[in-house]
Amino acid sequence: MTLTLLATLGCVAAPWAQAQSRTIRLVVPYAAGGPIDVTARALAERVKDSLGTVLVDNRPGAGGNIGADVVAKAAPDGLTIGIAATATHAVNPWLYKKMPYNAATDFAPITQMVRVPNVLVMNAEVAQRLKIATLADLIAYAKANPGKLNYGSGGNGSAGHLAGEMFKKEAGIFAVHIPYNGGNPAQLALLSSQVDFNFDNLATAAPNIRSGRLKAIAVTTLNRSAALPDTPPMADTLRGFSIDTWWGLVAPAATPRDIVAKLNQAFVAALNAPETKARFATLLAEPVPTTPEGFGLLMQKERLKYRAVVQATGAQVD
């Protein structure tokens, strides 16, 4: 090994000599206050004893691409890490004509953080009027009344749009997609019966499900969700159907393996802590600590899945 290489490795490893002497930047590619930001801040607090100070740096914009690109181009010294989410690392590579980073090669996986179920919901009054209580009922109604159903989403290429198109394809039905400018307008449209059904994040839909204004037809996780145990998964009717919201931690691609291993050890311990599980439960988010290899494999599989879904919809962002 050359002296130059030894010196370079020494410079990279130096900030890891003592936990108390370093500050790690955790880039969140979305605005402050949302579930991803809240979980990132909760973990940053829990790992300070093992990793030192972790400062959350919100870099929203371009569907998460701006923040993800900051991580991709950062020095691979373990002092800049970031959030990799369904959008930034599985959907956007197919949705955007030009990407500032390569989701497959520009990042070193650390660990998955959470999984949040999505849920197919209907306006409760509409569901009652149409006599739809189950996913099989909804599919049967759609087949008997072609073109009469529609569904809303937060916009072309959004998670709700892609889930809806995947559902149509797997069920062999047709429903008109009506895009709105964000998830909140789409939910308001459902509550006012302007659309017939939506695929929504469970954390967002839960209050209206509990109040009885929305009827939960099925969750999109492969198995039942502990947060909504009485609602069956879509996979009970459509074999293998699974389209979750997830996010986790990544570092720049060239980050040394020993540093990635230390980051993984600290964050996995934080994710397994009872306090973390209790905090995340309030967001209806399930902690899913993994190995770096496990998270990398998940992202690879998700990219392949969403490539087919996005291409089928024809959705694209300039």
Joined together, the tokens standing for residue 230 give 């009485």
The pLDDT assigned to 155 comes to 86
Q: Considering all CA atoms of the chain, what is the largest pairwise distance in Å, rounded to the nearest integer?
A: 76
* d(C-alpha 50, C-alpha 114), whole Å: 21
The pLDDT assigned to 282 comes to 86
Q: Beta partners for 82?
A: 27, 250
* d(C-alpha 299, C-alpha 282), whole Å: 26
Q: Are strands 107-116 and 245-252 parallel, antiparallel or unpaired?
A: antiparallel
Helix (H, G, I), strand (E, B) or coil at 154: coil
* d(C-alpha 212, C-alpha 173), whole Å: 27
What residues contact residue 115 under an 8 Å CB cut-off, 6+ apart? 221, 244, 245, 246, 285, 286, 288
The pLDDT assigned to 4 comes to 44
The pLDDT assigned to 7 comes to 45
Residue 127: its H or E element:
helix 124-129
The pLDDT assigned to 183 comes to 83
The pLDDT assigned to 289 comes to 97
The pLDDT assigned to 225 comes to 86
* d(C-alpha 166, C-alpha 147), whole Å: 17
* d(C-alpha 167, C-alpha 197), whole Å: 12
Taking the mean position of all CA atoms in its chain, how far away is CA 223?
17
Q: Are strands 286-287 and 23-28 parallel, antiparallel or unpaired?
A: unpaired
Q: Are strands 214-219 and 150-153 parallel, antiparallel or unpaired?
A: unpaired
Q: Mind listing the pLDDT tens digit of every residue in the chain (318 residues)?
A: 444 444 444 454 555 655 556 899 999 999 998 889 999 999 999 999 999 999 999 999 988 999 999 999 999 999 999 999 999 999 999 999 999 999 999 999 999 999 988 999 999 999 999 999 999 999 999 999 998 999 999 888 888 999 999 999 999 999 999 999 888 899 999 999 999 999 998 888 989 999 999 999 999 988 888 888 999 999 999 999 988 889 999 999 999 999 999 999 999 999 999 999 999 988 888 899 999 999 999 999 999 999 988 888 787 886
Residue with tokens 């980051």: 263
Query: Is 0.95 surpassed by the pTM of this model?
Result: no
**Which of 151-188 are b and which e, b meaning 16 or more Cβ less than 10 Å from the residue's Cβ?**
bbbbbebbbbbbbbbbbbebbebebebbbbeebeebbe
The pLDDT assigned to 9 comes to 46
Joined together, the tokens standing for residue 146 give 């072609």
Q: What are phi and psi of 68, to 5 degrees?
A: -65, -35
What residues contact residue 218 under an 8 Å CB cut-off, 6+ apart? 119, 120, 134, 135, 231, 232, 233, 234, 236, 237
Burial group, residue 142, by CB count within 10 angstroms (0-12, 13-18, 19+): buried
The pLDDT assigned to 2 comes to 47
Within 10 angstroms of residue 99's Cβ, the number of other Cβ atoms is 18
Taking the mean position of all CA atoms in its chain, how far away is CA 271?
16
Nearest to 234 by CA among 128, 125, 146, 121: 121
Query: Domains of the chain (ranges plus CATH)?
Result: 3-115+244-313 (3.40.190.150), 118-236 (3.40.190.10)
Are 113 and 248 within 8 A, CB to CB?
yes
